[in-house]
């Protein structure tokens, strides 16, 4: 018997299996790719945000009293090559070639005082590709040192001003044996924002450094010299630092091979130590390792959640693949039984049946796996492994099932008479799963899911705990649900109508609805509910965090004042609905040096403005004098004497945890808007809280004073538009939808599988006088109890999982550093999921009886013969 | 006359002819018990049966008498609980899985009552006939299937699928399928059960052809008097035991016999016992050429 023919004959079931396999492979292959892409994006974003000076590998060398041996560009370059040769492969892959990106060489003198001053320092420095980075706007580029006069170029920002440099002027620098330098050119950087300049800010601006105890700041500037002046610095008395900067290309760094990268940095530091001259070491100066390590901490939680979701999805996908395989093998059963009876060997029968499954799953899995490559992202072992597991599970399930079914000559047991008793092996396995799940849950609660992930990696055992918990719950449900149902059956048996009794009896026998759908339905629902709880909690907390940070849809602040006319103009800007003025200040507390942040605002008006937001603002302070709401640390003070526009005394009347958009933490107070007037001066508005959707440019134009504008939208975007946050939200959405879909598929497929059985039973009952309506009610009563119970348990488990995992999952870094509270979930989505599934299942049962009704009784009665 | 010890020893060491001798099918004290949760159903309770090679035998009996169980045992689809079952010299109780497979491939072929169950609906008649040959890896499939379909008069159906054939045609193709592997024995479970009398005749004729032309032993379980009255021997089964045999010889009237088992038990037909009001006990008297069976007199019943 050709497998192809069998597949063609059972095209419907085979197509269902193929589609499910394809979708499962696409999901479990694509999701890790997308996850990997988001991890890499987040890492690169962090690296770029840290800045080139932080992440580039800089080898510094300060010869102390010895000869550096570097007197020319060529020698400098030779050293660069030598250092690069020492780079381990993991590092050499991520650094840009010499001269490209931010890679360059530099020599700078350090703390070179200007003769005749005590607070001005003029260093000189050479940059290997400085000529390409600057434009000479006055004079010319410096040339070689002539007649003991070193030519230098200075930035336009350093001309005049505090340092007082001028084109053509000469200065003497150095404490011993001073060098004469002459300004021959003035330059501007071609692109000041180029990461190159992050290493060389001292060439572009004057640094002010206040030494402890000094009245005035010291001024530092570094001027540009030509390569031909290098020998002049090599053997002078100046303190100089040579630097070989090997630029790191963030695009080349990925989260894969993270550990290798950290090890490589240690190796490189060690190598530098080995080749350093005896008198002074080569020092690797970079914060790359610190940036990577801090990112790993942030990544750990994201990885935990995503792997958790992926694990749940994989388990459910495998279950659904097995269920669809069961559908196909049930369809093949008559043919294979006949083949077996006519002399087919067990191996032949198993091979034929399994070949049909292979025909359905292998091409589909390959296509799904191939399609997953359309999802942009990196390739990790799980990208290959997870899609391979789907067809392998289906094939193994089919092979074992068929070998088992056709092994004995004839089935001794009659399934319609008594349900088979579970084997000891199976009971032991179930107890093992339940025990492991409970033990794991205890461990998760006691040590958390993401603990030590940064240093020790994900713990696969703990990651499996939530999935094992749902499986354990499914097993317990399967074993225990008939007992309460039998009680109901007893009650129903006393009643006159036959349908409830019959339906519930059939349901309590658990024959019509097999184990597999429950094992799929419960984890699917639990993980989907878990995902939706986390997702809604995250969304809500992100909104709250954005409100906390912004304070209002639009907040305007100025160092000057918004007068009444300005406020009026701002009110007229299209889109502005409400404007709440406020005055903020940093005031003296008592008569000491303690400072207090203060805001004078009409809290009632603010509450009105923020009434649609998740902000929880207290009632305005009331009372005589100047009542105030104060930060928790000031709560116990009976009076606060402050110096604002005039001296005034505040009476704390309550506590406020934070003033959204302004202060949080400690040492702040909120007073009525007219506090200054009550103290005898006037209110000078310097902050505006605006409700509405107005153009920021129009607002600043209307204000006519220099303003800083922050909006809720900006703050929200800053929190939400993080690659990891976006990925978590996307993964939560995809997994919720996929699992809901799988749960529905599981219900429908199992209805189809048990259709023949049920049709026969109903037909026999119809010959005894069962009406169509009764048949429908009977089917619904038969199918729904287990689905309703499973849905309820799944719902409860999904709602309980976030609380059970408790501190194991810290989502605060994806919600603007506010803790996400999973114990107060939004119940709408989970309940919709549960109810939706139950309704689909019951509708499926109804449709099924309607279809059965169309067939003639005679033909139905022969179903299954 | 008392026997000496040496005579007894001599008697014990003499080989007795085994029960059934070289019969094609031998069932001796066959027992089959089905177990479902806590309930045991005894389908065969010590059944004895002998069928010779090349016989055409019908098995009749009421529903639940154990006919189908016997057929399942003989076809190797079921294993008896105890007793002896031997077909063509093969002990059906001692078969390994491999033996069972070989048995199904080479020794036995069978036909079920449901026409649809015998044939795969998506294969043509020819492909269906070739299926057992294919499974056994035998050559000359096309020729074999053609000749079998020809022999059974359904050669015109060769390229039709079951749905395009009548019930009678389907059963005749099913016979061809059963004969495909040149078995020594054909077992048919109510092969005409779903057919009208005219078609039944055709199907029975096909079985008779197979029996005559190919020398195959044919055992038919049937309710159909049309079939049971045309075979040479009809075996009745009651309560899991063979109870009667009806023999027909050419030109003679059918003669029904009761079956005497190896320990001397026989079942008296219920009509006979009812007519003479025989209950519990009967009186036996040995005459020179027969054994007389009398109902116990009322006096005896009361013990007077």
DSSP secondary structure string for all residues of A408-424? SSS--S-TTTSPPPPPH
A590-606 pLDDT tens trace? 877 788 889 999 888 88
Q: What number is the average pLDDT over the span A258-267?
A: 84
Question: Complex ipTM, two decimals?
Answer: 0.71
> Which range scores top for mean pLDDT: A209-223, A539-553, A827-841?
A539-553
Per-residue tokens: B196? 């009208």
- For residue A340, the chain B residue with the least C-alpha distance is B101
Sign (positive or negative) of CA dihedral A547, A550, A556, A557 = positive
pLDDT confidence tier of residue A637, bands split at 50, 70 and 90: confident
Q: How far is A481 from chain B (nearest CA, A)?
A: 21
What's the confidence (pLDDT) of residue B118? 82
Residue B122 to residue A9, Cβ atoms within 8 A:
yes
Q: How far is A407 from chain B (nearest CA, A)?
A: 8
A471-516 pLDDT tens trace? 888 888 888 887 888 888 888 777 777 777 777 777 776 554 567 7
Asked if residue A860 has pLDDT above 70, the reply is no
pLDDT confidence tier of residue A415, bands split at 50, 70 and 90: very low
User: How distant, in Å, are the alpha carbons of A80, A583, A700, B265 from that of A688?
Assistant: 55, 8, 12, 114
- The span from the CA of A838 to the CA of B237, in Å, is 53
Structure letter (DSSP) for residue A510: T
A534-568 pLDDT tens trace? 777 778 888 888 888 888 889 998 888 888 888 89
pTM over 0.90: no
Option in B35, B37, B135 nearest A348 (CB): B135
Structure letter (DSSP) for residue A625: S
A47-75 pLDDT tens trace? 888 888 888 888 888 887 666 677 777 88
Option in B116, B122, B132 nearest A342 (CB): B132
A312-332 pLDDT tens trace? 888 888 888 888 898 899 888
Q: Choosing among B70, B77, B114, B174, which should be mutated to test the A contact, i.e. which has the most A CBs within 10 A? A: B77
For chains A and B, CB pairs below 8 A equal: 59
Residue A345 to residue B131, Cβ atoms within 8 A:
no
Per-residue tokens: A38? 């988001």
B177 interaction partners in chain A (CB closer than 8 Å): 342
CA A486 from centroid of its chain's CA atoms: 47
Count of alpha carbons within 13 Å of A238, Cβ hemisphere only? 29
Scanning A230-287, the segments in alpha helix (DSSP H) are 230-234, 258-275
Asked if residue A694 has pLDDT above 90, the reply is no
What's the confidence (pLDDT) of residue A854? 59
Residue A341 to residue B36, Cβ atoms within 8 A:
no
Average pLDDT over all residues of chain B: 83
Asked if residue A418 has pLDDT above 60, the reply is no
Per-residue tokens: B151? 């022999």
User: How distant, in Å, are the alpha carbons of A552, A613, A803 from that of A664?
Assistant: 15, 18, 28
pLDDT confidence tier of residue A391, bands split at 50, 70 and 90: very high
What's the confidence (pLDDT) of residue A865? 37
Q: How far is A353 from chain B (nearest CA, A)?
A: 14
Asked if residue B124 has pLDDT above 80, the reply is yes
Q: How far is B167 from chain A (nearest CA, A)?
A: 15
A135 DSSP β-pair partners:
A188
Sequence-ordered list of residues with C-beta below 8 angstroms from that of A214, at least 6 positions apart, any chain: none
Option in B34, B37, B77 nearest A341 (CB): B77
**Main-chain dihedrals φ then ψ at residue A170, nearest 5 degrees:** -115, 150
| Measured torsion, CA atoms of residues B74, B78, B83, B89, in degrees rounded to the nearest 10 | 40
A642 DSSP β-pair partners:
A589, A648
Is the distance from CB of A149 to CB of A170 less than 8 angstroms? yes
Residue B135 to residue A418, Cβ atoms within 8 A:
no
What's the confidence (pLDDT) of residue A22? 93
A12 interaction partners in chain B (CB closer than 8 Å): none
Option in A342, A413, A421 nearest B135 (CB): A342
A348 interaction partners in chain B (CB closer than 8 Å): 135
User: How distant, in Å, are the alpha carbons of A18, A322, A389, A836 from that of A24?
Assistant: 10, 12, 10, 22
Option in B78, B110, B132 nearest A409 (CB): B78
Residue A409 to residue B36, Cβ atoms within 8 A:
no
Residue A418 to residue B177, Cβ atoms within 8 A:
no
- The span from the CA of A829 to the CA of A836, in Å, is 10
B76 touches chain A (CB under 8 A): yes
What is the secondary structure of B145-187 as a DSSP string? HHHHHHHTT-GGGTT--GGGS-HHHHHHHHHHHHHTT--SEEE
Q: What number is the average pLDDT over the span A255-270?
A: 84
A616-632 pLDDT tens trace? 888 888 888 888 888 88
A862 interaction partners in chain B (CB closer than 8 Å): 114, 116
H/E/C letters for each residue in A472-484?
HHHHHHHHHCHHH
Q: To 10 degrees, what angle do helices A346-372 and A11-50 make?
A: 40
Buried b (16+ CB within 10 A) or exposed e, B126-144: bbbbbbbbbbbebeebeeb
- The span from the CA of B187 to the CA of B207, in Å, is 10
B100 touches chain A (CB under 8 A): yes
Residue A342 to residue B79, Cβ atoms within 8 A:
no
What's the confidence (pLDDT) of residue A829? 75
Option in A342, A407, A865 nearest B131 (CB): A342
B117 interaction partners in chain A (CB closer than 8 Å): 334, 338, 865
Asked if residue B289 has pLDDT above 70, the reply is yes
B17 touches chain A (CB under 8 A): no
Which H/E stretch holds residue A223?
strand A218-224
**Residue A728: Cβ within 10 Å count:** 24
Degrees, nearest 5: CA angle A634-A673-A656: 30
User: How distant, in Å, are the alpha carbons of A104, A290, B92, B272 from that of A57?
Assistant: 11, 13, 83, 113
Q: What number is the average pLDDT over the span A268-276?
A: 84
What's the confidence (pLDDT) of residue A864? 36
Sequence-ordered list of residues with C-beta below 8 angstroms from that of A434, at least 6 positions apart, any chain: A472, A475, A476
- The span from the CA of A357 to the CA of A362, in Å, is 8
Option in A338, A409, A418 nearest B76 (CB): A409
- The span from the CA of A617 to the CA of B91, in Å, is 92
Q: To 10 degrees, what angle do helices A772-805 and A498-509 make?
A: 50
A345 interaction partners in chain B (CB closer than 8 Å): 101, 135
Asked if residue B1 has pLDDT above 60, the reply is no
B79 touches chain A (CB under 8 A): yes
What is the secondary structure of A427-468 as a DSSP string? HHHHHHHHHHHHHHHHHHHHH-SSTTHHHH---HHHHHHHHH
| Measured torsion, CA atoms of residues B76, B80, B84, B88, in degrees rounded to the nearest 10 | -10
B116 interaction partners in chain A (CB closer than 8 Å): 862, 865
What's the confidence (pLDDT) of residue A412? 46
B108 interaction partners in chain A (CB closer than 8 Å): none
Asked if residue A413 has pLDDT above 50, the reply is no
Q: How far is A509 from chain B (nearest CA, A)?
A: 14
B132 touches chain A (CB under 8 A): yes
First to last CA, chain B: 36
Residue B72 to residue A410, Cβ atoms within 8 A:
yes
Q: Choosing among B43, B104, B187, which should be mutated to test the A contact, i.e. which has the most A CBs within 10 A? A: B104
**Residue A283: Cβ within 10 Å count:** 16
Is the distance from CB of A246 to CB of A96 less than 8 angstroms? yes
3-state helix, strand, coil in chain B (%, to 5): 35, 30, 40
Contacts 24+ apart (CB under 8 A), A615-620: A615/A544, A615/A547, A615/A548, A615/A660, A617/A660, A618/A654, A618/A655, A618/A656, A619/A654, A620/A672
Asked if residue A855 has pLDDT above 70, the reply is no
Domain segments of chain B as ranges = 268-304
Is the distance from CB of A754 to CB of A852 less than 8 angstroms? no
Exposure of A421 by Cβ count < 10 A (0-12 exposed, 13-18 middle, 19+ buried)?
exposed
Q: How far is B142 from chain A (nearest CA, A)?
A: 15
Residue A412 to residue B34, Cβ atoms within 8 A:
yes
What's the confidence (pLDDT) of residue A858? 47
- For residue B179, the chain A residue with the least C-alpha distance is A342
- The span from the CA of A320 to the CA of A21, in Å, is 9
Those residues of chain A whose CB sits closer than 8 Å to some CB in chain B are 1, 5, 9, 334-335, 338-339, 341-346, 348, 407, 409-410, 412-414, 417-418, 421, 862, 865
What is the secondary structure of A125-167 as a DSSP string? EEETTHHHHEEEEEE------BTTEEEEEEEGGGBBTTTTB-T
- The span from the CA of A622 to the CA of A632, in Å, is 18
Q: How far is A345 from chain B (nearest CA, A)?
A: 6
What's the confidence (pLDDT) of residue A447? 66
Is the distance from CB of B217 to CB of B54 less than 8 angstroms? yes
pLDDT confidence tier of residue A414, bands split at 50, 70 and 90: very low
What's the confidence (pLDDT) of residue B251? 60
Asked if residue A127 has pLDDT above 50, the reply is yes
Q: Which of A385, A340, A392 is nearest to A362 (CA)?
A: A392
């Amino acid at each position: 018997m050709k497998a192809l023919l069998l597949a063609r004959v059972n095209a419907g079931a085979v197509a269902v299996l193929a589609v499910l396999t394809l979708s499962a492979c696409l999901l479990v292959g694509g999701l890790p790719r997308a996850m990997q892409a988001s991890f890499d994006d987040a890492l690169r974003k962090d690296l770029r945000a840290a800045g080139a000076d932080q992440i580039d590998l800089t080898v510094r060398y300060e010869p102390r009293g010895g000869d550096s041996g570097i007197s020319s560009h060529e020698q400098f370059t030779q050293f660069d090559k030598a250092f690069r040769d020492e780079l381990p492969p993991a590092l050499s892959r991520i650094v840009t070639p010499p001269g490209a990106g931010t890679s360059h060489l530099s020599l700078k003198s350090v703390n070179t005082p200007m003769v005749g001053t005590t607070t001005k320092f003029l260093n000189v420095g050479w940059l290997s590709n400085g000529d390409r980075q600057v434009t000479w706007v006055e004079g010319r580029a410096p040339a070689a040192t002539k007649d003991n006069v070193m030519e230098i170029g200075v930035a336009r920002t350093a001309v005049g001003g505090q340092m007082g440099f001028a084109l053509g002027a000469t200065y003497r620098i150095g404490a011993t044996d001073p060098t004469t330098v002459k300004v021959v050119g003035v330059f501007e950087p071609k692109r000041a924002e180029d990461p190159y300049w992050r290493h060389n800010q001292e060439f572009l601006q004057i640094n002010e450094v206040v030494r402890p105890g000094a009245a005035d700041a010291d001024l530092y500037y570094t001027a540009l010299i030509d390569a031909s002046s290098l020998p002049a610095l090599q053997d002078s008395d100046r303190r100089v630092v040579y630097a070989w900067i090997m630029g790191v290309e963030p695009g080349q760094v990925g989260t894969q091979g993270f550990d290798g990268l950290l090890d490589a940095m240690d190796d490189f530091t060690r190598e530098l130590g080995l080749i350093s001259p005896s008198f002074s070491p080569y020092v690797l100066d970079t914060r790359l390792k610190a940036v990577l390590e801090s990112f790993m901490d942030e990544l750990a939680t994201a990885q935990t959640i995503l792997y958790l979701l992926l694990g749940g999805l994989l388990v459910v996908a495998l279950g659904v693949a097995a269920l669809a395989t069961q559908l196909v093998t049930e369809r093949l059963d008559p043919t294979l039984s006949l083949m077996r009876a006519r002399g087919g060997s067990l191996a032949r029968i198993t091979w034929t049946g399994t070949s049909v499954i292979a025909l359905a799953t292998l091409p589909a899995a390959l296509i799904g796996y191939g399609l997953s490559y359309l999802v942009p992202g990196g390739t990790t072992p799980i990208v290959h492994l997870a899609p391979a597991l789907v067809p392998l599970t289906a094939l193994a399930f089919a092979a074992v099932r068929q070998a088992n079914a056709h092994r004995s000559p004839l089935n001794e047991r009659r399934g319609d008479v008594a349900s088979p008793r579970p084997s000891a092996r199976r009971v032991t396995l179930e107890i093992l799963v339940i025990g492991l799940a409970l033990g794991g849950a205890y461990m998760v609660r006691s040590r958390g899911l993401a603990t030590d992930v940064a240093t020790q990696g994900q713990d696969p055992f703990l990651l499996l705990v939530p999935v094992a918990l749902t499986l354990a719950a499914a097993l317990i449900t399967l074993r225990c649900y008939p007992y309460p149902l039998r009680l109901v059956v007893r009650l129903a048996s006393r009643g006159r109508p036959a349908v409830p009794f019959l339906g519930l009896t059939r349901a309590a026998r658990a024959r019509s609805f097999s184990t597999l759908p429950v094992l799929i339905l419960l984890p699917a629902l639990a993980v989907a509910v878990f995902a939706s709880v986390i997702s809604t909690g995250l969304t809500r907390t992100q909104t709250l965090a954005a409100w906390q940070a912004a304070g209002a849809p639009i907040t305007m602040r100025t160092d000057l004042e918004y007068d009444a006319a300005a406020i009026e103009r701002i009110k007229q800007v299209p889109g502005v609905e409400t404007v709440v003025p406020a005055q903020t200040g940093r005031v003296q507390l008592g008569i000491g040096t303690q400072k207090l942040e203060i805001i004078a605002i009409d809290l009632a008006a603010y509450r009105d403005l923020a009434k649609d937001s998740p902000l929880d603002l207290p009632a305005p302070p009331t009372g005589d004098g100047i009542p105030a709401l104060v930060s928790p640390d000031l709560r116990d003070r009976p009076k606060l004497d402050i110096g604002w526009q005039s001296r005034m005394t505040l009476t704390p009347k309550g506590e406020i945890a934070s003033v959204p958009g302004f202060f949080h933490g400690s040492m702040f107070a909120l007073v009525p808007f007219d506090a200054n007037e009550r103290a005898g001066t006037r209110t000078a508005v310097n902050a505006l809280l605006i409700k509405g959707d107005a153009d920021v440019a129009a607002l600043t134009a209307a204000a006519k004073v220099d303003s800083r504008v922050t909006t809720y939208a900006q703050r929200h975007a800053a929190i939400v538009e993080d690659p990891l946050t976006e990925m978590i939200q996307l993964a939560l959405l995809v997994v919720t939808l996929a699992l809901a879909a799988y749960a529905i598929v599981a219900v429908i497929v199992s209805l189809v599988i048990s259709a023949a059985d049920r049709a026969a039973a109903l037909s026999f009952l119809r010959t005894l006088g069962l009406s169509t309506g009764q048949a429908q009610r009977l089917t619904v009563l038969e199918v729904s109890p287990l689905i309703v119970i499973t849905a309820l348990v799944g719902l409860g488990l999904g709602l309980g999982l976030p609380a059970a995992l408790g501190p194991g999952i810290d989502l605060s870094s994806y919600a603007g550093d506010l803790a996400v509270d999973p114990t107060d979930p939004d119940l709408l989505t989970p309940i919709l999921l549960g109810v939706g599934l139950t309704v689909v299942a019951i509708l499926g049962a109804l449709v099924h009886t309607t279809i059965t009704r169309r067939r003639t009784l005679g033909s139905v009665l022969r179903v299954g013969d | 006359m008392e026997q000496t010890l040496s005579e007894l020893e001599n008697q014990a060491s003499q080989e007795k002819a085994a029960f059934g001798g070289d019969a094609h099918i031998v069932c001796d004290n066959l027992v089959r018990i089905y177990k479902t949760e806590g309930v045991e159903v005894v389908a065969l309770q010590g059944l004895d049966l002998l069928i010779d090679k090349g016989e055409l035998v019908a098995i009749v009996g009421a529903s639940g008498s154990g006919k189908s169980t016997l057929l399942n045992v003989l076809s190797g689809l079921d294993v008896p609980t105890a007793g002896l079952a031997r077909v063509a010299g093969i002990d059906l109780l001692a078969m390994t899985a491999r033996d069972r497979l070989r048995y199904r491939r080479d020794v036995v072929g069978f036909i079920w009552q449901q026409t649809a169950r015998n044939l795969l609906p998506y294969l043509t008649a020819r492909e269906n006939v070739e299926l057992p040959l294919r499974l056994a890896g035998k050559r000359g499939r096309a020729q074999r299937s053609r000749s079998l379909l020809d022999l059974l008069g359904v050669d015109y159906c060769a390229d039709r699928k079951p749905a395009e054939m009548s019930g009678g045609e389907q059963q005749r193709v099913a016979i061809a399928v059963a004969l495909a592997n040149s078995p020594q024995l054909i077992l048919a479970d109510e092969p005409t059960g779903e057919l009208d009398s005219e078609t039944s005749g055709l199907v029975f004729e096909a079985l008779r052809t197979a029996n005559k032309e190919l020398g195959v032993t044919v055992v038919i379980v049937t309710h159909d008097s049309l079939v049971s009255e045309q075979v040479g021997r009809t075996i009745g089964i009651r309560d899991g035991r063979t109870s009667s045999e009806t023999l027909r010889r050419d030109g003679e009237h059918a003669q029904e016999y009761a079956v005497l088992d190896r320990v001397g038990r026989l079942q008296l037909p219920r009509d006979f016992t009812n007519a003479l009001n025989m209950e519990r006990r009967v009186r036996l008297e040995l005459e020179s050429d027969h054994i007389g069976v009398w109902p116990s007199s009322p006096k005896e019943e009361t013990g007077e």
